[in-house]
Amino acid sequence: MKKTFKIINLECAHCAAKMEHAIRKLDGVSHVSISFLLQKATIEADDTRFDEIAAKAADICKKIEPDCLFTER
Amino acid sequence: MTKKQKKSLVRILSGCVLFLLALLFPGEHPLLFLVPYSIIAWDIPLRAVGNILRGQLFDENFLMTAASIGAFGSGQYHEAAAVMSLYQIGELFQDIAVANGRRSIAALMDIRPDFANVLQDGQIIRTDPSQVDEGDMITVTPGERIPLDGVVTEGSSALDTAALTGESEPRDVFPGDEVLSGCINLSGVLHIRVLRTFDQSTVCRILELVEDSISRKAKSERFITKFARYYTPAVVCAAGVLAILPPLLGLGTFSNWLQRSLVFLVVSCPCALVISVPLSFFSGIGRASREGILIKGSNYLEALAKTGIVVFDKTGTLTKGIFQVSRICPVSMKEEELLVLAAAAEQLSTHPISRSIRDAAPCELPPATQVKELPGQGVRAVVTGMQVLAGSETLLAGAGISCPHVSGTVVHVGLDGSYCGYILLADQLKPTSARAVEALKQSGIRRTVMLTGDAAPPAEHTARQLGLDEFHAQLLPGDKVTRLEHLLREKKPGEQLLFVGDGINDAPVLARADIGVAMGALGSDAAIEAADIVLMDDDPAKLITALSIARKTMTTVRQNIIFALGVKFLVLALAAAGFSSMWLAVFADVGVSILAIVNASRQ
Closest to B501 measured CA to CA, from B512, B486, B492, B485: B512
Task: Please check whether residue A33 touches B, CB under 8 A.
Answer: yes
- Test A36 with B278 for CB contact under 8 angstroms: yes
Q: Which three-class secondary structure string do you get for B144-198?
A: CECCCCEEEEECCEEEECHHHHCCCCCEEECCCCEECCCCEECCCCEEEEECCCH
CA distance A65 to chain B (A): 8
pLDDT tens, residue by residue, B168-226: 778 888 898 889 888 889 888 999 999 888 888 888 888 887 777 777 888 888 888 88
Q: For residue B201, what is the enclosing H or E element?
A: none
Between the CA of residue B270 and those of A62, B229, B266, B327, B564, what are the distances in Å? 21, 9, 10, 66, 9
**Residue range B19-34, pLDDT digits in tens:** 777 777 776 666 777 7
Of B388 and B54, which is predicted with more confidence? B388
Average pLDDT over residues B518-527: 66
Q: What percentage of chain A exceeds 70 in pLDDT?
A: 99
- Asked if A11's CB is within 8 angstroms of B274's CB, the reply is no
pLDDT value of position B151: 92
Q: What is the pLDDT of residue B503?
A: 63
CB nearest B278 (choices: A15, A35, A66): A35
Confidence band (pLDDT; 50, 70, 90) for B377? confident
Q: In which band, very low, low, confident or very high, does the pLDDT at B129 lie, cut at 50, 70 and 90?
A: confident
Inter-chain contact A14–B270, Cβ cutoff 8 Å?
yes
Q: What percent of chain B has pLDDT over 70?
A: 94
Q: Cβ contact (<8 Å) for B54 and A66?
A: yes
Mean pLDDT along residues B552-571 = 91
Residue B451 has pLDDT above 80, yes or no: yes
Average pLDDT over residues B585-595: 83
Question: Is residue B263 predicted with pLDDT exceeding 70?
Answer: yes
Q: Please give the average per-residue pLDDT across B359-387, as a whole number.
A: 85
Q: How high is the mean pLDDT of chain B? A: 83
Closest chain A C-alpha to B523 CA, distance in angstroms: 25
Min Cα–Cα distance to chain A from B272, Å: 9
Q: Taken in order A69, B2, B3, B9, is the CA torsion positive or negative?
A: positive
Question: ipTM value of the model?
Answer: 0.78
Q: How many CB atoms lie within 10 A of CB A16?
A: 26
- pLDDT reported for residue B393: 83
pLDDT greater than 70 at residue B421: yes
Which residues of B participate in catalysis according to the annotation?
Answer: 313
> Exposed, middle or buried, B469 (CB in 10 Å: 0-12/13-18/19+)?
middle
Start-to-end CA distance of chain A, whole Å, equals: 15
Write phi, then psi, for B122 (nearest 5 degrees): 80, -5
Closest Cβ opposite residue A66 in set B50, B275, B279: B50
Give the span between the Cα atoms of B25 and B19, in whole angstroms. 10
Q: Is B5 on the interface with A (CB under 8 A)?
A: no
Q: How far apart are CA B352 and CA B346, in angstroms?
A: 11
With an 8 Å Cβ cutoff, are B274 and A37 in contact? no
